[in-house]
Chains A and B, each alone.
Chain A
Amino acid sequence: MSYLRAVMAANDHSPRVLALTAEIIDMNPAHYTVWGYRFRTLMSLDTAGQLGTDAVAWTWSRELDWVQSIARNHEKNYQIWHHRQLIVDHLADSTGERARTEEMFALDSKNYHVWTYRQWLVRRFALFDEEELALTTKMLGEDIRNNSAWNHRFFVVFGALPDGQKPAEEVVEREIEFAKKAIQLTPQNPSPWSYIKAVLRKGNVGLATLQSFCEQFSPVSSPDDIKSSHALDVLSEIYDEAGDAAKAEKALELLASKFDPVRKNYWRYRRRQLGSNSPVVSATA
C-alpha cells in the first residue's frame, strides 16, 4: 500500500504499475482509487504505443480477460464493471461482451452490477435487437421469477423509444400475451403482473381490458377458487375505476383478511381510498 502511494504521488504510469495494481486489486477490489490509476496507466501505455510490444506483454484483450477472472471471484464488487465499461467504451467495440456478461449470469442471474453493465452495453452500442430480446426469453424460460430478466425485457422492448413516442400496437400486443402466458404458469408470481401493468400503461391500453383475465384467477364471488393475490389487487383497481365500489371493497377485504394478511393495513388503507383516485403526495414533472 505504501509503495502504491509513492507511485501515485509521483504519477508514475510505467509498465511496472500494471503488476503492482493487479496485486492490490486481487487483495482488495473495493480499493476506490487503484482502478482509476490502473486505467490511466493502460491509457498512457496505449497512447505511447507500448501495449502489446516486447516491452509490455499486455493488451486490452488480456486486460478484459483478467477483469473477468476478478469479477468471477468478487461478484458483489461494482468497481470492476466500471473499469470494464471504461475500457469497452474506449475501444468502441462490443465484441464478446454479451457472452462475458452471460457467463456471469450463469453464476448469478440477478447480479445487479452485471445487469447495469449489460444495459450500458445495449445503450452504448444500440443493441436493442432480436438477440437481446431472445436472451430475456431464454432466461425467463429458465426462471420465470427472475425479475431482473423481466426488467431487462422492458428495457429492450421500450428503451429505444424516443420520449413520448407510442410503441407499435403489435409489440404491445405481443408483450401482453407474453406476460399472460407467464401468469398462467405462475399466477402468484409478482414479476409478470408488474410487467403487464407497465406494458398496458406504455401502450395506452386500459387496465379494464384485463378484467376477465384476472377474474379467471381470482373470482371475487367465489373465494375458494382464488389463486392470485395480484389478480385481486388489479381487480380492485378495475372495479374502482368502473365505479363498482362494492366489488372493489370485496377484493381488498379478501386480501386483508385471507389472501395477503401480512399487508392487511395496506389493503385497508387502499379500501379507505376507494373512489378518490388522488395520490397522497403529488409530483410535478
Chain B
Amino acid sequence: MASPADGKATSPARATFNRERNIRYWLRCLRTLLPTEYTSNDLNRTSLAFFCVNSLHILGELGRLTTDAERASWIAWLYRCQHPRGGFRGSPGTDLGEALSDANAIWDPATLPGTFFSLITLLALGDDLTQVHRVETLRWLPTLQRPDGSFAEMHTSKDGESDATAVRDPRFSYLAAAVRWMLRGEEGSLEEEVPDVDVDLAVRFLQSIEAYDGGFGGRPGSESHAGHTFCVIAALALFDRLHPPPIPTSTTSPPAIYGLPHPSETIHWLVLRQQPLTPKPTDSTSLSEYHTATHLSPLPPPFPPPPTHNGFNGRANKRTDTCYSFWVIASLDLLRQSHLLDAESNRAFLLEETAHVIGGFGKWAGAPPDVLHSCLGLVSLALMREEGMNRADSALCAPLQTRERLESLPWRKKKTTE
C-alpha cells in the first residue's frame, strides 16, 4: 500500500495567518451593514455584536482600532437591550417599551443567549457591568429551570404555568451556567439572599444526554454532536462540577454530583472528530452541488489518512467544518487533554482551506465567510497559541483578559464586614 507516512519533505512552507486581512474583515463587519444573509439573525443582533467585538479583542486590536466614542456607543446600545425585569433581549426588535405589562411580557422576553452575549461583549468593551440589573437577572435564572434540570431559552408562558417551549438542549444549560458564573461572583458578594438554580439537577440533566458513543446530544437518545458536547463540558466547568471536588472537609455534607459519566469515552469520541478533507468532487458534480450534498456521507478517508489538513467534524461521518475546530478543541482543553490533537494539521485546514481571501473564515473551503465561523476559527487558533493573538478561555470563547477583567471587578468580590 502507498504510505505517505512522511509528507513533510514535500509539503510547502508553513502557512501564515493573514492578520491584516482579518482585521479589515472585522472592522468592515462592525462598521458597515451586514449582507442580507444575516436578516434571519435580526432577533439575535447581540450575538453578531459579540462575534465582531470578541474577534478584534482576540486579535488584540479592539482598543487600538476602535475609538472611545465607538465603544461607548456600542455599550449604550447593549444596555438598550437590557430588560427592565432582568436579563437582556436578543435585540431591541422585541422591545414593547412603555406598552410592556404583565399581560404582554412574554412577547418581550429577556433570553439566555441575549444575556450571555451582552454581558461578555460589555466586558470586552471595557464596561464594568455596574448598570446590569444583577439581582433581577440572578432571580430570573432559576425561574427558567425545568423539573428535569434543563433550562428554557426564555419565558414563553404566563404566570408560572409550565413553559410551552419544546426546545430542550444543553445550549441553554451552558448559557445559564455562564450567566450565573459571571453575575453571582464570589460567595458573599451579594448583599441579600438571592435564590440560585438547582445545580445538582442541572448536572443530572447534562449527564443524562450522553449518547452511546461517549459524545453528547441535545436530549436523551439524540445523536452525539460536538456543539452539544462542548455545551455539556463547558456548563459543568462553569458550575465547577467538571472535575472532582477537593477532599471534603466535613463528612456530613452529601457527595456532590459531578463529572462526565464516561470521561475516557468522551475523550475518545472527541479525538475521533479530527478528520481529513472530504475528497474533492468528481467532474460530474459541480462545486456547488458538492457543497450542498450534505446528506451523502463523505467517502472513507484514504488509508492511512493524509497527515496535512485535518479539521474537525461535528458528528461521525460528516464533513469537517471550521466551527467544530472550536467546539472540539475547547472541549478537550477543558478536560486538560488538548495535547492529544494534531494542532498543526488543524491549523493547515483553517489557514489553507477555510480562510477566505477577503478575511474571515467560511464553513468549509470555498464557502463565503460569516461572523460565527470567522470568530470560532480565530478562537480555536488562539486556543492553540497562534502567534500574535491573545490567549483564549475555552469555557467563555473569549480572550483570557475578559475572564480576568470580570474576576477583578469589585462588586464580584466577597463583602468585607467593616
User: Which of these, B167, B225, B260, contacts A283 with CB under 8 Å?
Assistant: B260
**Is A282 a contact partner of B342 (Cβ separation < 8 A)?**
no
Q: A189 → chain B, closest Cβ, in Å?
A: 6
Answer yes or no: A194 CB below 8 A from chain B CBs.
yes
Q: How many residues on the A side are at the interface (Cβ–Cβ under 8 A)?
A: 78
Which of A6-14, A45-53, A165-173, A205-213 binds B? A6-14
Cβ-based interface call for A57 (8 A): no
Stretch at the interface among B57-65, B138-146, B293-301, B399-407: B293-301
Fill in one digit per residue for B209-222: 1 if any A CB lies within 8 Å of its CB, else 0: 00111000111011
Within 175-201 of B, Cβ neighbours of A (below 8 Å) are at none
Q: How far is the CA of A257 from the CA of B318 in the complex (A)?
A: 25
A5 beta carbon closer than 8 Å to chain B:
yes
Among B26-34, B36-44, B118-126, B280-288, the one that faces the other chain is B36-44
Is the CB–CB distance between B295 and A109 below 8 Å? yes
Instruction: Assess whether A55 is interfacial by the CB under 8 Å rule.
Output: no
Find out whether the CB atom of B310 lies under 8 angstroms from the CB atom of A262: yes
B211: which A residues are within 8 A, CB to CB? Answer: 151
- Say how far B209's CB is from chain A's closest CB, in angstroms: 12
Chain B residues, CB < 8 A from A164: none
Residues of B in contact with A, size category: 35 or more
Complex CA distance for A79 and B156, rounded to whole angstroms: 13
B253 at interface, CB cutoff 8 A: no
Residue of B90, B263, B300, B337 near A188 (CB, 8 A) is B300
What is the CA–CA distance of A122 and B104 in the complex, to the nearest angstrom?
A: 35
Chain A 181-199 per-residue mask, 1 if CB under 8 angstroms from chain B, else 0? 0000010111100110110
Q: Chain B residues with Cβ under 8 A from A116's Cβ?
A: 218-219, 222
A residues near B258, Cβ cutoff 8 Å: 283-284
Closest chain B residue to A111, Cβ basis:
B295
Contact, CB under 8 Å: B340 / A282: no
Partner of A30, one of B40, B103, B307, B316: B40
In the complex the two chains form, is B315's CB within 8 Å of A147's CB? yes
Cβ-defined contact, B99 with A36, below 8 A: no
B93 CB-CB contact with A under 8 Å:
yes
Chain A residue with Cβ nearest B305: A262
Q: Which of A18-38 contact B (CB under 8 A)?
A: 27-33, 36-37
Dominant secondary structure at the B interface: loop
Q: Which of A64-72, A94-102, A239-247, A263-271 forms part of the interface with chain B?
A: A263-271
Q: Is A148 an interface residue (CB 8 A)?
A: yes
Q: Are B166 and A120 in contact (CB under 8 A)?
A: yes
CB interface residues, B 225-272, toward A, < 8 Å: 225, 242-244, 255-264, 267, 271-272
Knowing A82-B166, A266-B340, the reply to whether A32 touches B43 (Cβ < 8 A) is: yes
Interface-facing stretch out of B15-23, B67-75, B106-114, B373-381 = B106-114
Q: Is A110 interfacial (CB 8 A cutoff)?
A: yes
Known: A86-B166, A145-B297, A262-B342. A194 touches B335 (CB 8 A): no
Shortest C-beta distance, B311 to chain A (Å), equals 11
Please tell me if the beta carbons of B295 and A8 are within 8 angstroms of each other in the complex: no
Chain A residues positioned under 8 Å from B261 (CB to CB): 283, 285
* Cβ contact within 8 Å between A32 and B154: yes
Name which residue of chain A comes closest to B317, CB basis: A145
| Cβ-defined contact, A108 with B294, below 8 A | yes
Would you give the shortest CB distance from B77 to chain A, in whole angstroms? 18
Could you list some 12 contacts between A and B, CB below 8 A? A8-B107, A115-B223, A147-B223, A151-B212, A155-B221, A191-B317, A261-B305, A262-B275, A264-B342, A281-B243, A283-B259, A284-B257
